[in-house]
Amino acid sequence: MSDLKLSPAGALFSRVPFVPVPVSVSDRLLDTLREGLGLTGTKEGCGEGECGACSVLVDGAVVDSCLVPLCQVDGARVDTVEGLAAVGDLNLLQAAFLETGGAQCGICTPGMLMAGEAFLASGVEATEDAVREAIAGNLCRCTGYTAIYEAIEKAAERMYSVAAGAEPPPIAS
């Protein structure tokens, strides 16, 4: 997670790693995340906003970072896959992806995780149709999607049971 702030001098300030990074307001968010900040979890697939591999959350909304100029995220909260869990841990969604085989080659996985996180945060019931709609902007060429749907549904089930007072499930490692 990073709160991005553009300074008048054209430097990007981020809590991760909390150093100024020289940028231009016309730079793509994707390039700044990967090359400027070293947050390489976000992938470039098509560079045209068609595949979702570069999905990040901007103020909680899923966006294709390959299409977003920095000037559009000035002062916004930008969440990337690196911020989903504490270092060395998996969050519920990441663990569910691991358990169901939802991650295959890894190109789409960060974008799928971010779309899944936005879906889980929405509180919408995790039916297969709702999950399909939530990740509709993200393409996968390896899994056939079934394992991805199952992972998001499993994470939702666990999240809701924990919210109802159940003990958190053990996380696969």
Which residue segments constitute the domains of the chain, with CATH numbers given? 2-80 (3.10.20.30), 92-163 (1.10.150.120)
Q: How far apart are CA 167 and CA 164, in angstroms?
A: 9
Task: Give the mean model confidence (pLDDT) for residues 92-121.
Answer: 95
153: tokens are 């549904």
Please name which of 140, 19, 18, 21 lies closest in space to residue 29, comparing C-alpha atoms.
21
For 146-160, how does the pLDDT look when each residue is reduced to its tens digit (9 = 90+)? 999 999 999 999 998
Amino acid at 162: V
For 81-90, how does the pLDDT look when each residue is reduced to its tens digit (9 = 90+)? 988 887 788 9
Which pLDDT does position 5 carry in this prediction? 60
Mean pLDDT across the chain, nearest whole number?
86
Q: For helices 146-163 and 92-100, what crossing angle results, to 10°? A: 140
